[in-house]
Structure 1
């Protein structure tokens, strides 16, 4: 029974790995089928030839450029972006009278989000008449912000504060500040629907067919390489698990046959 239980667990693990591998390979295959463009004349020509001057789901790779005045970092000199998130949160400890220990918790988190209109331009382009405007970027999924500032301010503990903390059962530990930006000039790849307006103005927006609007802070090739490596890892893991499962199966059969032989004797 012990061998049967071990085999069942191994079969479950193998099935889980097979399912995950199939999911990852299907995801990567779908990514590979998505057309990739840059904000250039080729994209304009393709849009003009498309029905309703619209491409339902494509990837567009370019450099981030503010349409007007960019956002300046509050902490880093000469650092500019188009989307900004500033977060401040307090770390405190409170006394647990049951366990007689100080427990940590985070509280009073304050987050400020700012954004300005921006577009993607083709890398190395000298003329920026061609660009793809990003429509409602805050609606997109993806971790596309870069942390440009992070600081932890430790709370000072004097004798008077220690007495007060002992009476209140709560004491401050630290104040944490961070700032994240989608920086001007950084490489960004957007997945979504592209439409052409007025003959030259291109816009990347959330797809109407329900597929995800995604922004990733890298070029398309790097994004694909990362997911292809992940698919390869799952394939290797499944192969190793399959070999292990086969070994356990052989061992279980050997033990079972061995017991039957002993009984026949």
Structure 2
């Protein structure tokens, strides 16, 4: 009798274990569709709105068909030129969260015909309608600007030099980076920088980016502390070792720089 009761208890216990395992499997989130339409929420976006990204991925309806799986959503979003990665997951049976990682924009390239973004990896990206135009340094007058194409890598010697200038500004003093408006490459001539809050252009020349940024840091601190007045200067020349040349447009040395080019 006791043996029979033991067998009954074992069967009952096994039954409950099977029910428990089945419940866990049934309620576990999967990539499969649930048979219901779904709503997608995008997070991590700054350059474009959620609607812009969903419209590109053809997922911009009020809800998405139940047949659209997580891998499909991920693949469509990662085809966008601004997105490097998309992590997609279910929040509920009818709600999906897509966490996107946008490419890191380093600067804006100005050409006679078009304007582009360029990423930290030297990838040229188109500037799309409705993009959120944050404050990035401008890079202008590249030697081969007519050959620049979107979705191509532009790792030329002059672009490397422009990147070094931006990095030197960022690591020397963040206010220098934030105030850096334009890097004019002048088609291979002496590079000229423009800063907000500084009327005079900076004749930067080539090379020694860190040393020159330290000189500019001194100038900006003198302006901030009202120790020196640079408002009457027509240009500031950093091309000479251990010297900062403050000049007027009628000076011979200023005219020789060819700023009119």
- Give 1 or 2: higher strand fraction: 1
Give the TM-score taking structure 1 as reference length.
Answer: 0.18
Give the TM-score taking structure 2 as reference length.
Answer: 0.18
- Of structures 1 and 2, the larger Rg is shown by 2
